[in-house]
Amino acid sequence: MFRYYFFESLSALTTNKLRSFLSILGVLIGVAAVIAMLAMGTGAQKQVEKNLAALGTNVLSVRTSSSSRGVALGSDSVTRLTFSDMDALKRIDGVEKVVPYVSGRGQVVYGGRNLNTSIIGTNADYQYVRDSFPRGRFFTEPEMRIRAKVAVLGKQVADQLFMDTNPIGKWIRINRINFLVIGVLPEKGMSGFRNADDQILMPVTTAMQRLLGQEYISNFDIKVKNAESINAVQEEILASIIRLHRISAAQSDQIEVRNMADIQKAAGEMAQTFALLLGSIAAVSLLVGGIGIMNIMLVMVMERTREIGLRKAIGAKKRDILLQFLTESIIICTFGGIFGILIGVIISWAISFFAGWAIVISSWSIILAFSFSLVIGLIFGLWPAWEASKLQPIQALRYE
């Protein structure tokens, strides 16, 4: 019987090909939109997680309000961070590594090529805290003490300056000062609003005294030995800076000690919410397609009223008419779902190829979109099918 319903439904749908095509198109667009939107949302979530993972685990970020503004403002501004602070933070129980940072911009020249990029001064522990081990080598603590003119290039900087040439061992000029390239960082991508590949790392002392002319450290990253002690270490860091700089209670709120794990969790939840929001917006188009199916099916019931009356007059039961029209609705959604999956995958790949966005097409998003399209067909086809099954044979046969 179900095979009979299927072939009868196909026959009815092919009778008016344009109307059936438009019904399938509504579902197709909805399914394709759901898959593409979820692919973009999931890809964005994975990219955020990847970027945040590059910040390291069990890491605390320490800065003062005056260092974040760039200059000390007013008599109540917190004293700037120094190397004495770094030495004191290293002595705190539970602290594994302390990484200082200073930053600025510099004009970099190699041969006939030049670019303006970010200059980051740090120390040798950067590679361990940020899990960013270069090709070549990183600079050492002795090189930091002698303010050595060595540099580790970000992937994008190396590609733009050296093209297909190996940059390690080459000399570049940064703000008219010669630097020896000793390493190239692995590709990291965007980290917040900063491109981690568009930067040059060098010893913090070199950056401060030879290149940027800065006297103070901007901020610290502190790697804690284990996650269980991170809250205790966070409190001890705050107390240590307050004690070193003799900061009053009114000024203590100007010291920022941020737990990167909390930031990673919040950003991950936000990205997940963003992915669900995109999927929900796309699902609306499926609902619109379902409403279109219901409208089409109601029109088909009206057009085939005499056919329905004839079928019932020769013995068709109410159940037969109901299943007949439900099958037609489900067939429309099945074809729309199958072609929608293909179009959605193609759109996702096209976005990834041309826009360079991170796209993740998951099997659950395909199953969800296809299942939702079948449910839409069942729900929105039920009412027209029910209306058709209630028609009386005599009234249907008399219908003009």
Kindly write down the DSSP assignment for every residue of 132-180, as one continuous string: -PPEE----HHHHHTT--EEEE-HHHHHHHHTTS--TT-EEEETTEEEE
Q: Strands 255-259 and 59-64, how do they pair?
A: antiparallel
| pLDDT given for residue 400 in this prediction | 52
| pLDDT given for residue 191 in this prediction | 61
Q: Strands 150-153 and 177-184, how do they pair?
A: parallel
Residue 384 token pair: 């027209």
Question: Is the Cβ–Cβ distance between 24 and 335 less than 8 Å?
Answer: yes
| pLDDT given for residue 115 in this prediction | 93
Spans of the chain, pLDDT less than 50: 68-77
Q: Which residues of 69-100 are buried (b: 16+ CB within 10 A; e: fewer)?
A: eeebeeeebbbbbeeebbebbeebebbbbbbb
State if pTM tops 0.85.
Answer: no
| pLDDT given for residue 51 in this prediction | 67
Question: What share of the chain in percent tops pLDDT 70?
Answer: 87
| pLDDT given for residue 71 in this prediction | 40
| pLDDT given for residue 69 in this prediction | 45
Cα 332 to Cα 14: distance, rounded to the nearest angstrom: 11
Tell me whether residue 178 is exposed, middle or buried, using C-beta atoms within 10 angstroms of its C-beta: 0 to 12, 13 to 18, 19 or more.
Answer: exposed
